[in-house]
Each structure stands twice: as structure tokens, then as C-alpha cells.
Amino acid sequence: MTTPGQPVNPGELDRFLDGLMSAEETAAFESRLSDAARREVELQHRIDSSLNRLFAYDASAKEAPPPQPLAFRSPRQSAPRRYGMLALAASLLLAVMWVYWPRREFKFVPAEAIYADAEKRNWDPAFVCKSDQEFVAKVRERLGQGLLIPSNLASIRLDGWFYADDYVGSPISDETMTLMATVEKDHVMVFMDRSGNDRSITLPKDSALKVFRRKVGSLVLYELTPRKEPALLDHATTQ
């Protein structure tokens, strides 16, 4: 006599899913399924259907082997092999999601527009490095080369970073890092990027700002400032 909710043997589950049980065995097996086991069976049915659709035979393919008749289908694969196929299906799904997942498209944003927007936001950075070591690591992580502008410079305060994502663009590329600083009482920005992404930053003739450029190692830096001379570029060093 069988009791509902008894543990299900994996071998029995495979035979049931493959339709290899007799009518009597099928009835007895179903009577023993717990609610959790029934959900597992239903889930496996859905997975099998998805895999069948994913790997459906293409009759138009050249030199493709003929499909095997259902009557001669090989026995169901063991649990480890089956889980491997599930992992493969999951990987394929993630790949499809990566290709078709909507992304914001990068666009060019003038440097003075970013500066003006930062002023409207009360010069409030999105992220502040707690040490020079963290500063170097952040630049290396994004741009492939460590760079340092020391935090202990006289009359200069490094306020933090404004992310390009805040503007859905930048003056150079989608990799540009935007550093905010205060020199005495003036707000200054430094745009950092890989030299390979370099795009000259220019300003309108009537702009109250000035822009200065310096190449440091494999990186290019632009300082946007209301001052007559750059205050940060000469202090930037590779690390």
C-alpha cells in the first residue's frame, strides 16, 4: 500500500517523466506524490518542453541527421547530466537577455553643460574617495591605469566624483571620469579618460570658463576652471 507524500526515487521520477511506466505503475506513483514533488514534476515538464523547442530539428539544414522516432527515444539522462543541460539552458537565456536588454545609449554632452548642471546640484558629488589609495584604485579600475591627484594640496579640496551616468553622456566617451574640486573658492572639474578615447574639449567664445589639457601616461586629462591657470593637472601622477 502506498502513502501520499512518501519520498520519490529519482529513478522512478525519470521513468515516469519518460512515459516508461505501465498504467498501474503510473497510478501508484502519482498517488505517492507530495505537493512539492508534484510541483517538481510540473516544472520538469515545462523545462523539457522549453529544451525541445530550443533544440528543435531544422529540416532545412544541410546534411542534418534524421530525427529519431519517438518510439526509439533513449532513456532519460541521469540527474547530474540533466542538471548540466539546465545550466546550459540558463546560460543561453542569460546570453539572450544580455544582447536584447535595453541600454541607455551614450551621447556627447558639452563640458560646460556638465559643469553648469553640477552647480545647479549644489556641487554635490556622487562618490567621495576616503584615501589617496582608493582614488588610485578607482581610476585604475575604470581606465586601466592608476592615477593620483593628492588630497593634501594647499588651497585645493578634492570634493569627489560626478558619474557620467548622471548625464547619460560626457565630453569625451562613456568611460570618462569627472572629478570635482574646489580651488580656494572656485569650482573646478577634471575630466579623465583613456588617450585612445580623446576628443578635444572646446568652449563657446563667450564662456566664463577655460579648459586646459595634459596627457599623463596612457590617460588624457582636461581641467575645466574659471581660473586663468590650471590648479590640478600639474599634480597628477601615474601610479
Cell numbers at residue 43, please? 516544472
214/182 Cα distance (integer angstroms): 19
Q: Are 200 and 178 in contact (CB under 8 A)?
A: no
* E strands present in the chain: 107-108, 147-148, 156-162, 169-170, 177-183, 186-194, 210-216, 219-225, 237-238
Whether the predicted pLDDT of 13 surpasses 60: yes
Q: Are 149 and 179 in contact (CB under 8 A)?
A: yes
What is the mean pLDDT of the segment spanning 204-219? Answer: 96
pLDDT in tens, 154-183: 999 999 998 755 556 899 998 999 999 999
Q: Mean pLDDT over all residues of the chain? A: 80
Q: Are 219 and 213 in contact (CB under 8 A)?
A: no
- Taking residue 111's Cβ as centre, other Cβ atoms within 10 Å add up to 22
Confidence of residue 74 (pLDDT cuts 50, 70, 90): very low
- Short-list 232, 155, 220, 149, CA closest to 188: 232
pLDDT in tens, 14-34: 777 777 778 888 778 777 776
| Predicted pLDDT at 7 | 60
- Taking residue 115's Cβ as centre, other Cβ atoms within 10 Å add up to 24
Domain boundaries, the chain: 10-100, 107-238
Comparing 121 with 212, which gets the higher pLDDT? 212
Measured CA distances, 120 to 51, 54, 115, 208, 229 (Å): 54, 52, 9, 16, 24
Whether the predicted pLDDT of 190 surpasses 70: yes
- Short-list 203, 204, 114, CA closest to 213: 203
27/24 Cα distance (integer angstroms): 5
82/39 Cα distance (integer angstroms): 17
Give 12-18 contacts, CB < 8 A, sequence gap 24+.
13/37, 13/40, 13/41, 13/44, 14/75, 14/76, 14/78, 14/79, 15/76, 16/41, 17/41, 17/44, 17/45, 17/48, 17/76, 18/73, 18/75, 18/76
Confidence of residue 228 (pLDDT cuts 50, 70, 90): very high
